Chain A
């Protein structure tokens, strides 16, 4: 993957970006004339992909088509780590790909569980703005394709969990103070009872490493898109407030301890020769706390960039490192370089 000079969306800082790290809006759409994934012929998959790419071009969207099959497994995993594609698309079969913008803020998956999955990403907490963008892109694709839609059930999707609006809004939150004060479990429960799904950063089984949490809506049918965005924005705003208060309280009570942790993490990241993904993530988490409390002067955009850059496949692809130890060494070097001016 080329690392061109265009600033990726995650390298920019958005609103409340220290705590609400990023937002993703996804619209699921299917084309009426083809059966859903799993019942399509290879020819149909190919036609869908070609038509989607052509439609994007005709609509003037500056999107590059990346097909999955020609890529190596590591390259596909790196795309998954940067959240450009889902594991589903990486591991699928048949002609499929993703249409990506240069700064990777727009990634339209073609041939995943649903024919089209329009994804828009942004830094900080911004569901409404992203929804607007996604909806515009949706309108442009709609000109080319007749969508599978029913008045009663809305946009028709392969899985009934996505029916109706086909909208999934996800927000990534960084909640280390709440984690430390033991409030995270309760928070997850109340989020759940409000109708949100909560999980750790990198999907199933991950232990919310570095206290990163992902919140998304469960319901997609029977609500409008705007309501869904509003609800999640409100819920996240509350969590951000609680985290801020808890951080300040923690800092005032245990100032020296907090600073100690931040600077120890900095020391490790600046000088270690070998770092596992978990160590690096926890370290960056500490730096993020430090930045948010004003203990150190560090741009959140850089932290976001590093969070993706240290993931295993991204390290492998970027540095041609081999094996787990090779990656650990490369990761440490990457961080040393990135943080050399920090103190």
Chain B
């Protein structure tokens, strides 16, 4: 069978993972396996250094957060590394090397990088637990109204009456 990654060489390394009842398989050639962290770190569950502890829940199992970087970085075309988050400014480079994100929006911006990593970490990539109650939907509505009213006043002061009319309608809509 051919290598999953390059599709050129014969696959000689095989990894089968069963996490939470879900099975994933990977078949790589020698070259691609050398770059793939899953294959390097086959002693993921070794507890020889159990007493020296895991520094974080995934600390020693995944080596370090640099592993995320390796996984994200392997095979990424250079031009994609220029991506950055419009909200917080975090670059793909920063996210890759630290394994951490800059803000909530980063999850949208860099989402494609994370799916595989998340499946490996958590065995599943979908949330099934607690959800925030709708309480803050009310709160953000109040905040939005305040902002609109401020904008309305500014528009009136600047004599932008068309804009003011739009804002007035929006406010009416929200207040209903």
Contact = CB atoms under 8 A, between A and B. Distances in A.
Interface of A: 30, 32, 34-36, 38-39, 135, 138-139, 142-143, 145-156, 158-161, 163-165, 167-168, 185, 188-189, 192-193, 197-200, 203-208, 216-225
A161 B104 contact: no
A200 B128 contact: no
A160 B2 CA distance: 32
16 contacts: A35-B102, A36-B102, A38-B102, A39-B103, A135-B130, A147-B132, A150-B127, A153-B107, A156-B107, A159-B65, A160-B118, A160-B121, A163-B122, A164-B129, A188-B50, A206-B53
Contacts of B118: 153, 160, 163, 221
A222 B132 contact: no
A302 to B, nearest CB: 27
A204 B52 contact: yes
Interface in B28-48: 45, 47
B51, B118, B123, B135 interface centre (most CB from chain A within 10 Å): B51
B88 A160 contact: no
B12 to A, nearest CB: 27
A161 B129 contact: no
Given A153-B107, A153-B126, A222-B127, 12 more contacts: A34-B103, A38-B100, A139-B135, A146-B139, A146-B140, A148-B104, A161-B56, A161-B57, A164-B122, A189-B50, A204-B59, A208-B51
Contacts of A224: 128-130
B53 A200 contact: yes
Interface residues of B, number: 47
B145 interface: no
Given A154-B129, A204-B59, A192 B45 contact: yes
Given A142-B136, A153-B127, A36 B103 contact: yes
B57 A216 contact: yes
B139 A143 contact: yes
Given A36-B101, A158-B100, A185-B47, A151 B53 contact: no
B125 A152 contact: yes
B107 A150 contact: yes
B64 interface: no
B167 interface: no
Interface in B2-47: 20, 45, 47
A207 B52 CA distance: 6
Contacts of B127: 150-155, 163-165, 221-222
A160 to B, nearest CB: 6
Contacts of B132: 142, 147, 149
